[in-house]
Amino acid sequence: MGSVEYNDMELMICVASRVFEDGASVSVGTGVPCAAVMLAQKLYAPNLLITFEAGSVAPLLPTMPLSVGDSTTMRKAIQTSSTCEAMEMLQRGLIDYCFLGGAQIDMYGNINSTVIGNYEKPNVRFPGSGGANDFASMSWRTIVVTPQSPRRFTNNIDFITTPGYLNGSGAREKAGLPKNTGPYKIITNMAVMDFDEDTKKMRVESVHPGYSLNDVKKNTGFELLVRDDLKETKPPTKDELDILRNEVDPFNAVIGRRAE
């Protein structure tokens, strides 16, 4: 049997879809996070409970929504409420996972999606937090999906929009955030990272096919820890790609993008 061809975006979505256990709850936005949870629900976790920050709870998504307020996010939902109620679900500890991206991420999983450069006179200004700070502060586990490059993975982070482990072990709790919460997995086009239990520093868990550990390190602007049981990521399966391409994203709205 020959190998199945796929692009980096498809790889990241397929790998992310395998994270969730059946019956878990996840708050998502549009794009890659939504594609990953839709694929997960169709293949691995049929009872995955999806919520959107606009207020939809447990919809059955027919196609990829254009925004968190798209009417498709409310199809057959058990509840259509408001952003306030969506955030209150997080505050009550009802959301197991959230999905985020960002322009920069550091070794402790802190994310910048606000500015590049000086805050008052930035080189680039991004949309900012939206619900990302609330998601990562209050959900139990945060998953980040982003392409790997030294520009993105840097300790010279210009602004912390969303807290990871701040400056190390115990820092989240000292800042008043709930215990046992924080970054869980970082999924890139090259690898999957988790975080060391003691230091809370980013650690390579598996390397994707076609890349080496050295490739991952060269594309990271800080020193990465490496798990003793480092693995090779399983590539996308034919079933994953068929469902992703034909049911989840048939118009290539997400999988047609370049991971950069």
User: Residue type at 184?
Assistant: Y
Q: For 81-120, write each residue's pLDDT tens digit.
A: 899 999 999 999 999 999 998 899 999 999 999 999 999 9
Q: For 116-145, write each residue's pLDDT tens digit.
A: 999 999 999 998 888 899 999 999 999 999
**How far are the Cα atoms of 36, 49, 71, 238 from residue 225, in angstroms, in the given order?**
26, 33, 43, 32
Which tokens sit at 112?
């910048």
| Helix-then-strand count for the chain, H and E | 7, 14
Structural domains of the chain ordered from first start: 8-248 (3.40.1080.10)
Active-site residue list: 53
Separation of alpha carbons 156 and 165, rounded Å: 16
Does the pLDDT at position 1 exceed 60? no
Q: For 142-166, write each residue's pLDDT tens digit.
A: 999 999 999 999 999 999 999 999 9
